[in-house]
Amino acid sequence: MDATISIGKKSIGLLLFVICSIAIYNKVLVNENWAQYGIMMRAQLFSAPVYEWVVLLLLMCSNFLIESIKWKLVVAATNPISIFKAIKSVFVGQAFAFFTPNRIGEYAGRTLFLDAGNKMTGMAQMGWASYAQLIVTICIGVLALALNISLYPWADGRWLISVKLISPFIGILAIVLFFYKREWKGWMSFLNRMQIETNIKGSMLGLSIFRYIIFMLQYVWVAYMLKMNIELFPLVLSVAILFLCLSILPTISITELVIRGQLLLIILAPFYSDKMMIISLSSFIWGINFLIPSIIGTFLTLSYRINR
């Protein structure tokens, strides 16, 4: 009996590997659009010198290292983990997010490697890290939208006034709610365990700003690699608006490769007219920030063994 239970526990990682692999195959390898964009990108990128690929790799690694530090920091009080295990958890979370709506699987994937009694608390604590990233995205995104909105033909006078008046309040409200803390009593006292210290929240916010800059640099660098003739400031503002849209729209309809590319087409329309290059930019970023980490996370699930 014990041998059967042991085999079952060790097989969980293999099962998760199969599920993630099937999801990646269905979404990518049999996706004609991805194959088409892949041909275009190869034509542009094969001529890129080695140092450009090295910089891109460093940016990708920096992105996930920062997120791993955030994860290690936010669970430190209840479930201390090593930086290696934090990195592993982040990649596995990416694999789970790949085939679940609104990326909700990322929470389950991250907590696989936490102690059995701390998984629910870990999910709640991850919410704080995600909220910190959302605050940065919203604050910068609404500012970029306020600066750019007059350039879009669908934005009339009421849109302009509303966005410019409401934008500061959205950012302030998001920050106030993030740092607000109260002591729960009675039957809701279990929520106190899910709270994190104010200094940890500040660290989350600082790391989130750093990670946002890395995201932005990735777009700028890939645009440079693709030899897109677009000015830096309009590109940065447009990408900030893209991040804002991706954070507030239902991800079940926007994680698809084509939809994401079409959204960037609309945002970049006043500044750049080469639609295929815009789609290539979007596709390549999606590949390095979502597809490749998901593949890595899929293989890392093989080492997962369910805890008693």
Measuring CA to CA, which residue among 232, 231, 245, 237 is closest to residue 147?
237
How many structural domains are present in the chain? Answer: 1
Q: Any idea which of 13-17, 42-46, 77-81, 89-93 has the lowest mean pLDDT?
A: 13-17
pLDDT tens sequence across 180-231? 776 655 555 555 556 777 788 888 899 999 999 999 999 999 999 888 888 8
Q: What is the pLDDT of residue 221?
A: 94
Does residue 160 fall inside a structural domain?
Answer: no
Does residue 63 fall inside a structural domain?
Answer: yes
Q: What is the pLDDT of residue 59?
A: 94
Model confidence band, residue 61 (pLDDT cutoffs 50, 70, 90): very high
pLDDT tens sequence across 117-138? 677 777 777 888 888 898 899 8
Whether the pLDDT of residue 255 is over 70: the answer is no
Measuring CA to CA, which residue among 194, 215, 190 is closest to residue 74?
194
Does residue 235 fall inside a structural domain?
Answer: yes
Distances (CA, A) of 220 to 23, 124, 179, 194, 292: 30, 33, 32, 37, 19
Q: What is the pLDDT of residue 10?
A: 42
Does residue 178 fall inside a structural domain?
Answer: no
Q: What is the pLDDT of residue 180?
A: 73
Does residue 308 fall inside a structural domain?
Answer: no
- Assess contact for 131 and 205: CB atoms under 8 A: no
Residues 137, 247: Cα–Cα separation, whole Å: 8
How high is the mean pLDDT of the chain? Answer: 75
Whether the pLDDT of residue 291 is over 90: the answer is no
> Range of 32's domain?
2-134+199-303
pLDDT tens sequence across 1-57? 444 444 444 455 455 555 555 554 555 545 555 556 566 666 666 677 888 889 999
Does residue 228 fall inside a structural domain?
Answer: yes
Q: What is the pLDDT of residue 5?
A: 41
pTM of the full predicted structure? Answer: 0.80
Does residue 153 fall inside a structural domain?
Answer: no
Does residue 299 fall inside a structural domain?
Answer: yes
Angle at 197 between CA 194 and CA 201, to 5 degrees: 95
Residue where the block lists tokens 């063994």: 305
